[in-house]
Amino acid sequence: MQLEKTPIEGLIILKPTIFKDDRGYFYESYNKNRLQELGIALDFVQDNQSFSQKGVIRGLHYQKPPFAQAKLIRVIKGSILDVAVDIRKDSPTYGQYFAITLSEENHLQFLIHEGFAHGFSVLENDTIVQYKCSRFYHKEAEGTILFDDPSLAIPWNVDDPIVAEKDLNGQLFSTFISPFTL
């Protein structure tokens, strides 16, 4: 597995080593020891999986401290545009986002540390997303920033987005008071 840094500290792209032959392919999608060798010491306690159709947007979600979560995201089937927004108030990249396409073809994984709002848009029908979380989900700690907030100007790359009611009612970034620090 190889680690690739992004322009925003706390966001990392992981490229697994893929072994291909005439039968197909094999790779380790998660190896705690290998991540520790790369300097990533996280304990994941919960796996989540979603199934979505093209055009769905989920997010921008975060968990408030002390229930803040780091996430390791990958796509099992289909493809997504995965987005993380820096919501750490003392960060030099506060309010900036990073987006990456994750797909069953590229096998990339996106590691998002605590202090980021996370969301994704679905680029293909029947897409399956799987992600690990470093803390258990707590409904009372959940927060949502409006996915189409004009001040963030995230290009979700979908026409006529399909969005859940809670995401349509997300908070404007300009009124967001961050509970996160560096």
pLDDT digits (tens, 9 = 90+) for 124-136: 999 999 999 999 9
State how far Cα 118 lies from the chain centre. 5
Q: What is the pLDDT of residue 57?
A: 98
**pLDDT tens-place string over residues 148-157:** 999 999 999 9
Give the contacts of 110 (CB within 8 A, at least 6 positions apart): 11, 12, 13, 14, 72, 73, 74, 82, 84, 100, 102
SS3 for 47? strand
Q: What would the pLDDT profile of 26-74 be if each residue is shown by its tens digit?
A: 999 999 999 999 999 999 999 999 999 999 999 999 999 999 999 999 9
**Cα(8)–Cα(94) distance, rounded to whole angstroms?**
9
Whether the per-residue pLDDT at 14 is higher than 90: the answer is yes
Q: Which residues of 44-69 are buried (b: 16+ CB within 10 A; e: fewer)?
A: beeeeeeebebbbbbbbbbbeeebbb
27 is catalytic: no
Supply 21's token pair.
């032959």
Given a contact cutoff of 8 angstroms between Cβ atoms, the answer to whether 60 and 116 are in contact is no
Mean pLDDT of 104-121: 98
Whole-prediction pTM:
0.96
- Strands 162-163, 56-63: pairing is parallel
φ/ψ (deg, to 5) at 9: -60, 135
Q: What is the pLDDT of residues 157-166, one digit of tens each?
A: 999 999 999 9
Confidence check: pLDDT of 182 > 90: no
What domains lie within the chain, and their CATH numbers? 2-175 (2.60.120.10)
- The pLDDT-based confidence of 24 (bands split at 50, 70, 90) is very high
Please pick, among 61, 97, 113, 118, the residue that the annotation labels catalytic.
61
Task: Choose, from 62, 97, 113, 131, the residue flagged as catalytic.
Answer: 131
Helices (H) and strands (E) in the chain, counts: 2, 14
